[in-house]
Structures are given as structure tokens and as C-alpha cells.
Amino acid sequence: MPTIVVEVMPKAELLDPQGKAVLGALTRLGQSQFSSVRVGKRFELTVDGEVTDAVLAEVATLADEMLSNSVIEDVVGIHVEETPAGPASVISAAGASA
């Protein structure tokens, strides 16, 4: 069964306290090559049947209206994972195929 993955990140202009905490932990562990960390969310929606353009459009709407808080977050990616070894198609946050 295909899975649609929705990726949500905090808006770039906002502080990311979780990212700062992870960066601090990395630095304490001696990983000083990283200058920034941003922490986001990943949603996996398993689809019964075929993933059509209509299903993807519905997921894009759900991502904007329910899965993300548009005041503080951006939907940065929506893509389809057919199977672990199968092909994947990627849709940008704007909905265009990449």
C-alpha cells in the first residue's frame, strides 16, 4: 500500500527551541560542525488503493488546514512512498511535481 508523507517545519523566521536544544546537545557531544538544527514533523498517511491527483490534492488541503499550524509552520513537502524498494514521487509544498 502506498504511503503519503507530509513534512512540516517551523517557519524560517521563527525561533525553534527544540532545534536549539538538539544543537546544544550535539555540541556537548563534540559535534561542532553543525551551526543550526531545525526540528519538524513527519506525517505518514497509508492509502487504500491508488494515489491519484485528487487524493494528493486532498492531502495538500489536509496538510494546510489540519496537519500544520499556518501561523508558525510551513508544509515543506508531500511525497508518495510506494514500497520500501519502489519508486517515489515528490510534490513540493506548492503542489508541483519535482
Per-residue pLDDT tens over the stretch 46-96: 999 999 999 999 999 999 999 999 999 999 999 999 766 555 555 555 444
Q: What pLDDT is recorded for position 96? A: 41
Q: In CATH terms, is domain 3-92 a member of 3.40.1370.10?
A: no
Dihedral sign computed on CA atoms, order 8, 12, 17, 21:
positive
Q: What is the enclosing helix (H) or strand (E) of 54?
A: helix 53-62
Quick check: 34 and 92 in contact, CB under 8 A?
A: no
Q: What pLDDT score does 97 carry?
A: 41
Q: How confident is the model at residue 1 (pLDDT cuts 50, 70, 90)?
A: confident
* pLDDT exceeds cutoff 80 at 42: yes
Q: How far apart are the C-alpha atoms of 16 and 6, rounded to whole Å?
A: 19
SS3 content of the chain, % helix, strand, coil (to 5): 30, 30, 45
- The arithmetic mean of pLDDT across residues 4-25, rounded, is 97
pLDDT score, position 82 = 79
- Checking if the pLDDT of 6 tops 70, the result is yes
